[in-house]
Structure 1
Amino acid sequence: MANAHKPVLYGMIAALAAVLGVVAAVTLMQPRGSAGLQSGILLPQPRALPAFTLTDQDGQALTAARLAGSWTLLFPGFTYCPDVCPTTLALLKQVKASLGPDSALRVVFLSVDPERDTPQRLKSYVAQFDPSFVGATVAEPQLAEVARALGIAYAKVPGATPESYQMDHSAAMILLNPQAQVVAYLTPPFELPKLVADLRPLTGKAP
């Protein structure tokens, strides 16, 4: 049975390696003193995403077309996460509040646990942090495809019972521009002042 999970695990390891490779390459390419992000890495060129269809917390299709027109900060996680996910979402609530009502930033919480994170559960979960946050889910194998395109790594960690498993996942946030292209990876540890300083020039006005 354990062997059945190896292809998925290897795929997630490959996705993580790809992200680390991109971050390392971009870091080396950026000259010292060049303008960049305090909280992560700007890609040299925006990276287009393949066509995808997620399901949002209201049961509606969430596609690249819906994400277009606004800056989007996408954070992977799951509602049963004991620490990193709620802490990061609480921080993102502060980020949005600091940016102000004119900010064109959309926050999307992408579940890496589609078995348990139904749209209804996601709706009640993200609303605890900010009613404007979007929860998104998609079943396997589509989740693996979307995660690979975004550079998200995740893997199931068995618990004491079949229902008590946890999910290991990358904690970087992915910044999409108003064309729904990947333009940056924001990496932990996250600090409110740095995130606000990075995002304000981009999202201060609607495109």
Structure 2
Amino acid sequence: MTAATRSLLLILGLFGLGLVISGAYVLSRGPERAAGAAAIGAPFDLATTQGARFSDAGLKGEPHLVFFGYTHCPDVCPTTLAQISSAFAALGKDAKIGALFVTVDPERDTPEALRDYLSSFDPRIVGLTGTDGEIRAAARAFRAYYRKNPPDASGGYAMDHTGVVYLMDREGRFIGALNLERPAADVAKELSAYL
């Protein structure tokens, strides 16, 4: 392959990436959504740690954050949940906002394990689980990725997963990815605009 061919392929690849990014931007624009494009946060139906059903209809009425992870996650999940908890604390205990922590590891994350894990974080964070099919459907609804890694010598395993925190408005529409890598007061100020 010549240098000119490699350069052309690189340019075409960057152009394609630009189309994907601009398409994701259009999907996040609510009413301006491209005709025929599926919404992020499309219909899903999962179970809470208390056994109640929670669907996309439950997102309506107050803003929600949605995050996919698992309880055996070594760093990203506990850090993200702590950041969400800090932002919620900065908003105040009476702020009408919720967060959903959707497990991508229902094999280990039983309702009891999920409930116990989330007891260390803000009580407005609701744990959701379901069958493999229900979790896959929810992940598709949010364009989230996850994959179980091969087990190690002890039989344990890790999960690769999307680290995006989805911000949904009070109508259940996707606003954008929430940046938690800043002071909790700044995150709370952004969230307060949707309350």
Structure 2 residue matching 1:108: 3-state secondary structure: strand
How far apart are the structure 1 equivalents of 2:28 and 2:119? 31
C-alpha RMSD over aligned residues: 2.6
Q: Distance in 2 between matches of 1:21 and 1:113?
A: 32
Distance 1:71 1:188, change over 3 A: closer
CA contact (8 A) 1:171 1:187 kept: no
Residue 165 (structure 1) aligned with residue 157 (structure 2): yes
Q: Does 1:95 align with 2:87?
A: yes
1:24 aligned onto 2:21:
yes
Does 2:175 align with 1:178?
Answer: no
The percent of aligned pairs where both chains have the same amino acid is: 34
The answer on whether the counterparts of 1:48 and 1:180 sit within 8 Å (CA) in structure 2 is no
Structure 1 segments unaligned to the other structure (5+ residues):
1-19, 30-41
Report 1:135-154 matches (<5 A). Answer: 135-154=127-146
Change (3 A) 1:27 1:193: farther
Q: Which residue of 2 aligns with 1:8?
A: none
Q: 1:108: how far off? A: 0.9
SS in 1 for 2:167: strand
Number of equivalences: 172
Q: Which has the higher contact order (CA 8 A, sep 6+)?
A: 1
TM-score (normalised: structure 2) = 0.77
Report what 1:82 is aligned to: 74
Q: Could you say what secondary structure the match of 2:71 adopts? A: coil
Which piece of structure 1 moves more, 162-171 or 56-65?
A: 162-171
Larger strand percent: 1
Write out aligned runs for 1:9-88 (5 A): 24-25=21-22, 43-45=28-30, 47=39, 49-88=41-80
Assess if the C-alpha contact under 8 Å between 1:79 and 1:122 holds in 2. Answer: yes
Report which of the two structures shows the higher radius of gyration computed on alpha carbons.
2
Look up the SS of the partner of 2:29 in the other structure: strand
Runs of 4+ in 1 over 6 A off after TM superposition: 20-23, 26-29
Of 92, 105, 114, the residue aligned with 1:122 is: 114
1:130-170 CA-to-partner distances (Å, cap 9, x unmatched) read 22320001222222221111011111112314741100111
8 Å Cα contact 1:76-1:110 kept in structure 2: yes
TM-score (structure 1 length as normaliser): 0.73
Partner-residue secondary structure (3-state), 1:198 = helix
Unaligned runs of 5+ in 2: 1-16, 32-38
Deviations 1:9-43 (A, max 9, x none): xxxxxxxxxxx8788217988xxxxxxxxxxxx92
